[in-house]
């Protein structure tokens, strides 16, 4: 991921969204996909900003470093081969002269695979993530994409709010705990099975465990989705990162049609979770992924 700001004074020309999009086209190559998301700062006073798009607030416990947070645009370059992705990042950075890099981070998905319709990967805490996402593609789109009638600008329908959180994980401390303790902090087994014996594809029976004897009440999944019939409308796709010197963690990323009902609801519920001792959010931001097609740079009209 590369977050960029428009260079001062470069509002038109090289600093326009059109120039950025054409730079992205030059960047794309075999095996490297390129995506763009807009931060609130890219919208001028006259810009038609998505209703909920503001700079990401600091949540309790966060220590947001401005040099790793926010940004006018967020570019995501993804591919199977790290050298290809790095070369694409270089091409991108030299193609877009009206924009300067604000922060960048390299993420990876260990053990990346599709299983039962879901993308899964292992995080730096050795747990497989992705089970909580819907397996059905229609349900994924329903959670992620802005709909007509939501009160959003017309150009934004079919787009998606993206939240990125750079979360440093205390992996040394975590690795001192037993696997059993770790699984009680997450609320699932490392391989995704539930602590009450339900299999990966089934639902756990939380009402039968009101005191959290099997699945602790302050475990991650129990707080994230207390009522299994009503999961928050968000779709997660995280990446591990390792910047050396023990700076290891998760580039948490999720998509939703409504920020308040999606990420913000879950983030508030997670306050006081057992995992908080091991995590520190140091950066990230709120962005908006425009709908597919070439119409949006004109509609966004920021110059």
Shortest reach from residue 180's CB to ligand HEM, in Å: 15
Please report whether residue 79 would count as binding ligand HEM according to CB under 6 A.
Answer: no
Residue found under tokens 């909580």: 132
- 252 contacts ligand HEM (rule: CB under 6 A): yes
Q: Does 155 contact ligand HEM by CB under 6 A? A: no
The verdict on 119 binding ligand HEM (CB under 6 A) reads no
Q: 270 or 299: whose CB is closer to ligand HEM?
A: 270
**Distance between CA 290 and CA 176 in Å, rounded?**
43
Contact residue for ligand HEM among 1, 89, 144, 186 (CB under 6 A): 186
Is-contact 237 254, C-beta < 8 A?
yes
Q: Name which of residues 199 to 238 contact ligand HEM (CB under 6 A).
A: 220-221, 224-225, 231-232, 236
CA distance 296 to 166: 28
Determine if 274 is a binding residue for ligand HEM (CB under 6 A). no
Closest CA to 255 of 297, 286, 282: 286
Binding of residue 49 to ligand HEM (CB under 6 A):
no
Shortest Å, Cβ 74 to ligand HEM:
17
Listed in sequence order, the DSSP H helices in 115-215 are: 137-144, 171-176, 179-186
Query: Interface with ligand HEM includes 165 (CB under 6 A)?
Result: yes
Structure tokens at 55: 């700079």
Q: Rule CB under 6 A: say whether 127 interacts with ligand HEM.
A: yes
The window from 87-95, 100-108, 138-146, 266-274 that contacts ligand HEM (CB under 6 A) reads 266-274
- Note the maximum CA span of the chain: 62
Q: Give residues with Cβ within 8 angstroms of 77, minimum separation 6.
A: 1, 2, 27, 32, 33, 34, 35, 85, 88, 89, 92
Task: At 292, list the tokens.
Answer: 């597919």
Q: Which residues bind ligand HEM (CB under 6 A)?
A: 123, 125, 127, 129-132, 165, 167, 186, 188, 220-221, 224-225, 231-232, 236, 250, 252, 263, 266-267, 270, 275, 279
């Amino acid at each position: 991921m590369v977050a960029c700001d428009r260079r001062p004074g470069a509002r038109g020309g090289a600093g326009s969204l059109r120039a950025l999009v054409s730079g992205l086209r030059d960047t794309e190559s075999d095996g490297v996909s390129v995506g763009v998301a807009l931060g609130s700062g890219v919208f001028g006073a006259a810009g038609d900003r998505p209703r909920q798009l503001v700079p990401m607030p600091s949540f309790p416990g966060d220590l947001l470093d401005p040099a790793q947070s926010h940004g006018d645009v967020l570019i995501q370059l993804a591919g199977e081969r790290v050298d290809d992705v790095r070369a694409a990042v270089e091409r991108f950075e030299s193609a877009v002269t009206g924009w300067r890099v604000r922060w960048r981070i390299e993420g990876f998905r260990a053990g990346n695979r599709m299983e039962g319709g879901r993308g899964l990967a292992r995080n730096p805490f050795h747990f497989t993530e992705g089970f909580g996402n819907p397996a059905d593609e229609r349900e994924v789109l329903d959670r992620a994409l802005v709909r007509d009638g939501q009160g959003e600008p017309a150009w934004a329908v079919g787009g998606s709010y993206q939240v990125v959180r750079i979360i440093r994980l205390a992996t040394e401390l975590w690795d001192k705990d037993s696997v059993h303790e770790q699984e009680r902090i997450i609320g699932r087994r490392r391989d995704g099975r539930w602590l009450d014996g339900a299999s990966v594809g089934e639902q756990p029976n939380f009402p039968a465990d009101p005191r959290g004897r099997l699945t602790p009440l302050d475990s991650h999944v129990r707080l994230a989705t207390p009522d299994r019939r009503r999961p928050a409308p968000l779709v997660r796709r995280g990446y591990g990162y390792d910047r050396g010197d023990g700076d290891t963690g998760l580039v948490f990323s999720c998509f939703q049609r409504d920020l308040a009902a999606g990420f913000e609801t879950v983030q508030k519920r997670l306050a006081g979770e057992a995992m908080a001792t091991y995590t520190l959010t140091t950066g990230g931001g709120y962005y908006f992924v425009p709908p597919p097609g070439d119409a949006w740079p004109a509609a966004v009209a920021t110059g």
